[in-house]
Amino acid sequence: MEKFKTITGVVAPLNRDNVDTDAIIPKQFLKSIHRSGFGDNLFDEWRYLDHGEPGQDCSNRPLNPDFVLNQARYKNATILLTHSNFGCGSSREHAPWALDNFGFRVIIAGSYADIFYNNCFKNGILPICLPVGVIDSFIELTQNNPGYTLSIDLESQTITDPLDTIVHFEIEEYHKNTLLDGLDEIGQTLIYKNDIKQFETNHQFKNPWLFKTL
Amino acid sequence: MSAKTLYDKLWDSHIVREDESGTSLIYIDRQLIHEVTSPQAFEGLRIAGRTPWRISANVAVPDHNIPTKDRHLGITDPVSKLQVDTLSKNCSNFEIKEFSMSDPNQGIVHVIGPEQGLTLPGMTIVCGDSHTSTHGALGALAFGIGTSEVEHVLATQCLVQKKSKNMLIKVNGNLNRGVTAKDMILYIIGQIGTAGGTGYAIEFGGNAIQELSMEGRLTVCNMSIEAGARVGMIAVDQITLEYVKGRPYAPSADEWDKAITSWQYLKSDEDAHFDKLIEIEASSIKPMVTWGTSPEMVTDIDSTLPYPNNGYNTTLQPALDYMGLTSGTAIKDIKLDKIFIGSCTNSRIEDLRSAAAIVKGRKVAKNIKLAMVVPGSGPVKQQAEAEGLDKIFLKAGFEWRDPGCSMCLAMNADYLEPGERCASTSNRNFEGRQGQGGRTHLVSPIMAAAAAIEGHFVNALEYLDN
């Protein structure tokens, strides 16, 4: 996984609460057996005026001019700014894959659904959580200032705006290190393979019925 | 030793190691696999040259993409077919047990786990599916994960996790007649909101929970995720043991006594600490109907749709617009186009029996374009047919289908056309969930059945009494 250090990018405001993963990437695109190719279908039902199907060339599809990501000023956005309970619903990791494929590196939201939040870290996306009031003011600044950018520094856990105002954010140590080091998490767990084996032996002794051959 | 909650006990008994920050490596007893969220995990395993840590911990079944009629013709959509075939190929390459599309025991992953005895009390269970919370009804610690974590469990039998907080939702008293487990969980979601359980593992307790059948408990735990909680669970009691006993993969007769001795501790200690306690009076719950595009947008059958100043602010008007509804409309005046009885929430035998009891001797209303029943599994379907439920549904004008996720998320040929309105026993009413532009109202099986007969919402109690 690519290491995450700092990023400065255009901010796109998605002015809604409870954005669910069905909205982030609709079900028909989940039929893919690959990890990439979801960017064109990110927010498909909001972004296009027609019905999207997997494998379609999206360059000629009619765009919904009202949808934020279709506005020229947010075209190259790498930071998505939104409200509370982002990523609720289905556990589909296709949601962070689609956000990543589109080009988002950071999400700033009031809060996240638990499964989505975890899935972000597996894909090098930094999900930042900020108080509702701070989100509201960032949304206003983004909407009122075309080309509004923010700089994110994961090491120091700070967001810096164009006027050099600094906002601090919280993140758990484990998650932070995963992103900073771009670690292979499976490899990290396998460092403890002897602990796992020992646990397993004891566990099987106590609960032999859990170890049936199927 | 300090008092522990059920969640504490399940968590503590699966810790392989813990670091200073409280991040733990947790051992996973069972991984359930389906076709949608697993291909990339197997691919990752293959690329890294890894093999599954413990093959028998994994069980696979295709359910999301598969057709619910004319199954003998195979899957016509080539993209869906490739995904289902890929699951079979991966299972065969890695020697993982699969209940394939043609297996008589195939069904929705969250129905067949408990049904086959693959879900047992005291287990840690994961699946690349948010409704894995369902399995907590048997006193297991079960939660949904993403595809990277599916790969992690395949390779290591473990997950790196941080413990959630404990929440107890106590439903006291007794449910009124005509009010079901589905109404109970919809009511709870209405009370605490779709983010109310975020960061928590929810234990459901209290008299009204204890009195639920296993089917009802599975329905309640299933929708914990719609209340924001990855984990929902219920203590083990006699109902749990009776349900588990004799199932194909349950402990054998000679292991049974030892198993139930260890399972009897799977309940919260009397004085265990919960970070949050919510108490609900069961008798205040009425048959519920969702009216918006989030499961928290829910009210009872006797109500009218809310006005913008009643708390929903920014989300209310867009939801009403999407749903094609206006404030002040009575729930009972909402006319329907389609009826869907099925999904991992409500497709078990008890759900079908209760719906059939409403439908018996009646006809689906003329304005209903399609009313369908999709049993949760092969064995549920067989049992229903043995009881003659299929004939009751067919005679009334319902379609009787083969098991799968079907119109809960509409990845197969079962979906709503734009603007169509459906009374659905599933779990999510998000925009486009049942088909782009489709409008979903979540209800219980008896409410869906009564709505099919009437053509609009009605209190199913009127049918129970007549």
Q: Using N-to-C axis directions, what is the helix angle for B214-222 and B349-359, rounded to 10°?
A: 100
Q: Does A34 touch chain B (CB under 8 A)?
A: yes
State pLDDT tens for residues B246-263: 999 999 999 999 999 999
State pLDDT tens for residues A125-172: 999 999 999 999 999 999 999 999 999 999 999 999 999 999 999 999
The partner residue sitting opposite A195, judged by closest CB among B16, B48, B315, is: B16
Quote the CA–CA distance of B226 and B182 in Å, as a whole number: 12
pLDDT-derived band at A63 (thresholds 50, 70, 90) equals: very high
Question: In chain A, whose CA is at the least distance from the CA of B413?
Answer: A28
Smallest CA-to-CA distance from B203 within B256, B158, B257, B164 is with B164
Which chain A residues have a beta carbon less than 8 Å from that of B315?
A: 16-18
Question: In chain B, whose CA is at the least distance from the CA of A1?
Answer: B148
Per-chain mean pLDDT for chain B: 97
Per-chain mean pLDDT for chain A: 96
Quote the CA–CA distance of B309 and B306 in Å, as a whole number: 8
pLDDT-derived band at B21 (thresholds 50, 70, 90) equals: confident
Q: Does A16 touch chain B (CB under 8 A)?
A: yes
pLDDT number for residue A183: 85
The residue-averaged pLDDT of B91-109 equals: 97
For residue B313, pLDDT over 70 is answered with: no
For residue B98, pLDDT over 70 is answered with: yes
Are residues B413 and B73 in contact, defined by beta-carbon separation less than 8 angstroms?
Answer: no
What is the ipTM, given to two decimal places? 0.96
Quote the CA–CA distance of B123 and B125 in Å, as a whole number: 6
Q: Does A93 touch chain B (CB under 8 A)?
A: yes
The better pLDDT of the pair B96, A2 is held by B96
Q: Does A172 touch chain B (CB under 8 A)?
A: yes
Task: Decide if A28 and B249 are in contact by the 8 Å CB cutoff.
Answer: no
Which chain B residues have a beta carbon less than 8 Å from that of A17?
A: 314-315
For residue B308, pLDDT over 90 is answered with: no
Which residues, at least 6 apart from A9, have a Cβ–Cβ distance to it below 8 Å?
A: A76, A77, A78, A79, A105, A106, A149, A150
For residue A1, pLDDT over 90 is answered with: no
pLDDT number for residue B466: 64
The partner residue sitting opposite B259, judged by closest CB among A31, A209, A211, is: A209
State pLDDT tens for residues B155-164: 999 999 999 9
Smallest CA-to-CA distance from B195 within A112, A135, A115 is with A112
Smallest CA-to-CA distance from B197 within B115, B117, B259, B136 is with B136
For residue B465, pLDDT over 80 is answered with: no
Distance, in angstroms, between B284 CA and closest chain A CA? 27
Task: Decide if A92 and B37 are in contact by the 8 Å CB cutoff.
Answer: yes
Task: Decide if B156 and A186 are in contact by the 8 Å CB cutoff.
Answer: yes
Quote the CA–CA distance of B439 and B429 in Å, as a whole number: 7
Q: Does A193 touch chain B (CB under 8 A)?
A: yes
Quote the CA–CA distance of A17 and A86 in Å, as a whole number: 7
Q: Does A158 touch chain B (CB under 8 A)?
A: no
Which amino acid type is present at position B341?
A: I
Q: Using N-to-C axis directions, what is the helix angle for A114-121 and A173-181, rounded to 10°?
A: 30
Which chain A residues have a beta carbon less than 8 Å from that of B146?
A: 91-93, 96, 115, 118-119, 122
Are residues A87 and A112 in contact, defined by beta-carbon separation less than 8 angstroms?
Answer: yes
State pLDDT tens for residues B401-450: 999 999 999 999 999 999 999 999 999 999 999 999 999 999 999 999 99
The tokens describing A105, both together, are: 């590196």
pLDDT-derived band at B20 (thresholds 50, 70, 90) equals: confident
pLDDT number for residue B182: 98
Q: Does A137 touch chain B (CB under 8 A)?
A: no
Which amino acid type is present at position B308?
A: P
The partner residue sitting opposite B82, judged by closest CB among A33, A189, A199, is: A33
pLDDT number for residue B428: 98
Which chain B residues have a beta carbon less than 8 Å from that of A33?
A: 39-40, 43, 82-83, 86
Task: Decide if B430 and A89 are in contact by the 8 Å CB cutoff.
Answer: yes
Choose, out of A25, A83, A189, A192, the residue to mutate when testing the contact with B (most B CBs < 10 Å): A189
For residue B1, pLDDT over 80 is answered with: no
For residue B352, pLDDT over 80 is answered with: yes
The residue-averaged pLDDT of B225-239 equals: 98
Are residues A152 and A126 in contact, defined by beta-carbon separation less than 8 angstroms?
Answer: yes
Choose, out of B13, B16, B82, B290, the residue to mutate when testing the contact with A (most A CBs < 10 Å): B16
pLDDT-derived band at B309 (thresholds 50, 70, 90) equals: confident
For residue B78, pLDDT over 90 is answered with: yes
pLDDT number for residue B187: 98
State pLDDT tens for residues A15-47: 999 999 999 999 999 999 999 999 999 999 999
The residue-averaged pLDDT of B338-364 equals: 98
Which chain B residues have a beta carbon less than 8 Å from that of A174?
A: 19, 21, 23, 160, 162
Distance, in angstroms, between B38 CA and closest chain A CA? 8
Task: Decide if A115 and B146 are in contact by the 8 Å CB cutoff.
Answer: yes
Question: In chain A, whose CA is at the least distance from the CA of B147?
Answer: A93
Q: Does A56 touch chain B (CB under 8 A)?
A: no
The partner residue sitting opposite B158, judged by closest CB among A111, A174, A196, is: A196
Task: Decide if A174 and B411 are in contact by the 8 Å CB cutoff.
Answer: no
Task: Decide if A91 and B315 are in contact by the 8 Å CB cutoff.
Answer: no
Report the SS3 class of residue A75: coil
Q: How many CB pairs (< 8 A) connect A and B? A: 196
Task: Decide if B228 and A88 are in contact by the 8 Å CB cutoff.
Answer: yes
Task: Decide if A31 and B65 are in contact by the 8 Å CB cutoff.
Answer: yes
For residue B229, pLDDT over 90 is answered with: yes
Distance, in angstroms, between A160 CA and closest chain B CA? 28
pLDDT number for residue B22: 85
In DSSP notation, B44-75 reads HHHHTT---S-GGGEEE---SS--SS-GGG--
The reported pTM is 0.97
In DSSP notation, B353-393 reads HHHHHHHTT----TT-SEEEE--SBHHHHHHHHHTTHHHHH
Distance, in angstroms, between A183 CA and closest chain B CA? 13
For residue B310, pLDDT over 80 is answered with: no
Distance, in angstroms, between A90 CA and closest chain B CA? 5
